[in-house]
Structure 1
Amino acid sequence: MDQLPETVNKLLSSSHTETYVSPIPVGINESTTPVVVGVDEAGRGPIFGSMVYSAAYMPESFANCLNTGDEEDLKFGFDDSKKLTDIKRDELFGYLWKQDIDENFDEDKQQSIQKLKENVGYVITGISARDISSGMSKYPPTEIYNLNEQAHDTTMEMIRILKEDKQLNIKHVFIDTVGPPISYQQKLEMKFPDLKFTVSKKADSIYPIVSVASVIAKVTRDMHLKELNKIYLREDIKLGSGYPSDPNTVKYLRENVTPLIGWNPVFTRFSWNTTNNYLVDNNDKYGTLEIKWEDDYITTGRKRKNGGDIIKAMNPSKYDGMLTLSSFYDI
């Protein structure tokens, strides 16, 4: 696809986390039209690429037109994006972001797509691989910004954008859960006490508006990763989906380890065990460099892989210019 959605172009504009907000559709009046919002993500588990969050919204009165089976049903087939083929996902998101409607469609379908365009808006945030790694690798461990916290904060910021910046009249927010749904819902209700929330597992299969968000997030993430592949790697090198089960991903990891950095930090999550193991546990096999970090010399209680205190094992007092155990306690 030569033309890219603005969601993808926004993520390509930086190696850090970026947010895209679509124009408010013509079927929504910001201050009066009751709207429902659905939130879902794509890319939580992969080694490569961003984790993309989407908050889709539409008029409350339009929400029953997606796949309820009544006479107003537009029958597009939105569902949990993982249940759909690549072609179907691209088709569905294309209805939303492409300006022109395919003239080869029959008149009824063209009218249905136009209705969809006029009633659905969305926000996406791509949490970059670089920022995911940075948050999860903070030191000391008490400062770690884990993936659930990053996900929760991203969701709340997208809701804030729709509620405060765009002044939408939000009546109900449906969210595919991250972590335990009850505590997550309570957290959201404390942040936005005037909004109604439903947080549940498999929300992307249950609530049509979450299915829309799921498709937007998945297509944006997949297209973004493909573009990063084109920009940073030779044509014959494939990142694959980024999941450790993908043969292309495993092949790339194995055959493209550099001694110091490992892989390109623009698209690699170094806080994942899979990438960390290549760099730390397989120094001889992959020719990576063993790095002794400063905090390993000043932190007591850290354990080596094969057991024992890491400071005593390093015996830093034998190394000139390095902080000794005795001098550490004199600071």
Structure 2
Amino acid sequence: MEELPQSVNKLLESSHTETYVSEVPRLLREDDKNTPIIVGVDEAGRGPIFGSMVYCAAYIPVDFMDCLKSSGESNLKYGFDDSKKLTDVKRDELFGYIWNENAGVKVKSDVTEDAIKQLKHNTGYVLTGISARDISSGMMRFPPTEVYNLNQQAHDTTMDMIKRISEDLKLNIDHVFIDTVGPPESYQRKLEARFPKIKFTVSKKADSIYPIVSVASVIAKVTRDMHLKELSKESGGVGSGYPSDPNTVKFLKQNVSPVIGWKPEFTRFSWNTTNSYLSEENEKYGTVLIKWEEEYITTGKKRKQNEKITTLEPSQRRGLLTMDSFYDI
């Protein structure tokens, strides 16, 4: 897909977290907004060292639910599944059916023009890209008791998306299906307490069980990949952003700056992989060892020279940098 979706353009507007809300599907606009809908929530990009973590809450009318299934009388054979099980071409195809007004080209003979229109006219979504900069900022807060960990960020993002659908768009949510982050039981109780009038099912591998979660999974995955590709164009490409990707490893080694590391717009400095280049293995990679103020005013961390500094007086802190002042995060 050469043209960028509006959701990707929205994320490119800022190096901080952004949310895109699609138009309410035509059939929900034309019908009474009391029409019950189901919502599926999933994410892409939890583990990479580069790029945003993208969350999607996709929704359809309850009556359209059977059309997403892989079997049955109403089967339209779209092929939604856990996005990790699908090829890049198949994910792009499915996402194109939803967002692109010109996506009418049949890739498979059993996906008809009418089926594509039905999917487009019945599907809406809210998408949030939690930027690498904001992920790092949350996870590296000081003091440690104020750390905003990845699970908390994911939970808050999910609840915000549900709020946008139910309270801002004023759509009638009947049931929300969510691929869990953390223990499903406690997460479900948390959601039910926040939205007592909505039914929730929080499950492991929900994207393989509930087709509406598969829709959210595909939208999130394609959006994340396209966003990262655009962000890294000037840098020559960073691969998938996962530490196990040889292209990402190659980029890490060949593009590390002695002081900055890598671009804060798409780098998660809170990950051990990136942090090691700038701290424990700084001599190996030729980077500058920076003395962060936070490390010296906590418990007195031992340095390589076995020096131990407990608490520095304000007058002794000159020359020490803080993470906030350095990366502006």
Q: TM-score, normalised by structure 1?
A: 0.90
Aligned to 2:284: 285
1:133 equivalent to 2:136? Answer: yes
1:170 equivalent to 2:173? Answer: yes
Which letter does structure 2 place at the counterpart of 1:40? Answer: D
CA offset digits 1:151-188 (Å, max 9, x no partner): 00000000000000000000000000000000000000
Which letter does structure 2 place at the counterpart of 1:186? Answer: R
**Aligned in 2, Cα 1:107/1:81: closer, same or farther, shift over 3 Å?**
closer
- Give the secondary structure class of the aligned counterpart of 2:26: coil
Aligned to 2:68: 66
- In the TM superposition, what is the alpha-carbon distance from 1:101 to its structure 2 partner? 3.8
Where in structure 2 are the equivalents of 1:227-306 lying within 5 Å?
Answer: 227-230=230-233, 232-233=234-235, 237-299=236-298, 301-304=299-302
Which letter does structure 2 place at the counterpart of 1:14? Answer: S
Aligned to 2:84: 82
**Aligned in 2, Cα 1:214/1:323: closer, same or farther, shift over 3 Å?**
closer
Which letter does structure 1 place at the counterpart of 2:57? Answer: A
Aligned to 1:322: 316
Q: Distance in 1 between matches of 2:294 and 2:111?
A: 65
Aligned to 1:11: 11
Aligned to 1:149: 152
Aligned to 2:325: none
Aligned to 1:221: 224
Aligned to 2:324: none
**Aligned in 2, Cα 1:253/1:78: closer, same or farther, shift over 3 Å?**
same
More off after superposition, 238-247 vs 61-70: 61-70
Q: Does structure 2 retain, via aligned residues, the 8 Å contact 1:298–1:323? A: no
CA offset digits 1:216-250 (Å, max 9, x no partner): 000000011111121x32xxx33000000000100
Q: Percent identity?
A: 65
Q: Does structure 1 retain, via aligned residues, the 8 Å contact 2:297–2:312? A: no
Q: Does structure 1 retain, via aligned residues, the 8 Å contact 2:15–2:131? A: yes
Q: Distance in 1 between matches of 2:74 and 2:226?
A: 32
Where in structure 2 are the equivalents of 1:80-119 lying within 5 Å?
Answer: 80-102=82-104, 109-119=112-122
**Aligned in 2, Cα 1:180/1:269: closer, same or farther, shift over 3 Å?**
same
- Give the secondary structure class of the aligned counterpart of 1:53: strand
1:45 equivalent to 2:47? Answer: yes
Paired residues in the alignment total 315
**Aligned in 2, Cα 1:139/1:69: closer, same or farther, shift over 3 Å?**
same
Which letter does structure 2 place at the counterpart of 1:52? Answer: V
Unaligned runs of at least 5 residues, structure 1: 325-331
- In the TM superposition, what is the alpha-carbon distance from 1:303 to its structure 2 partner? 3.6
CA offset digits 1:262-311 (Å, max 9, x no partner): 00000000000000011101121111111112233332x34437797841
Which letter does structure 1 place at the counterpart of 2:128? Answer: T
Q: Does structure 1 retain, via aligned residues, the 8 Å contact 2:70–2:79? A: no
Q: Does structure 2 retain, via aligned residues, the 8 Å contact 1:228–1:267? A: yes
Q: Does structure 1 retain, via aligned residues, the 8 Å contact 2:96–2:103? A: no
Structure ID, larger Rg: 1
CA offset digits 1:134-160 (Å, max 9, x no partner): 000100000110000000000000000
- Give the secondary structure class of the aligned counterpart of 2:42: strand
Aligned to 1:205: 208
**Aligned in 2, Cα 1:210/1:305: closer, same or farther, shift over 3 Å?**
farther
- In the TM superposition, what is the alpha-carbon distance from 1:67 to its structure 2 partner? 1.8
- Give the secondary structure class of the aligned counterpart of 1:56: strand
- In the TM superposition, what is the alpha-carbon distance from 1:255 to its structure 2 partner? 1.1
Aligned to 2:56: 54
CA offset digits 1:85-124 (Å, max 9, x no partner): 0000000000001102435677970000001011110010
Q: Distance in 2 between matches of 1:155 and 1:182?
A: 16
Q: Distance in 2 between matches of 1:245 and 1:22?
A: 33
Q: Distance in 1 between matches of 2:82 and 2:160?
A: 23
For the aligned residue pairs, the C-alpha RMSD in angstroms reads 2.1
Q: TM-score, normalised by structure 2?
A: 0.91
- Give the secondary structure class of the aligned counterpart of 1:27: helix
Which letter does structure 1 place at the counterpart of 2:289? Answer: E
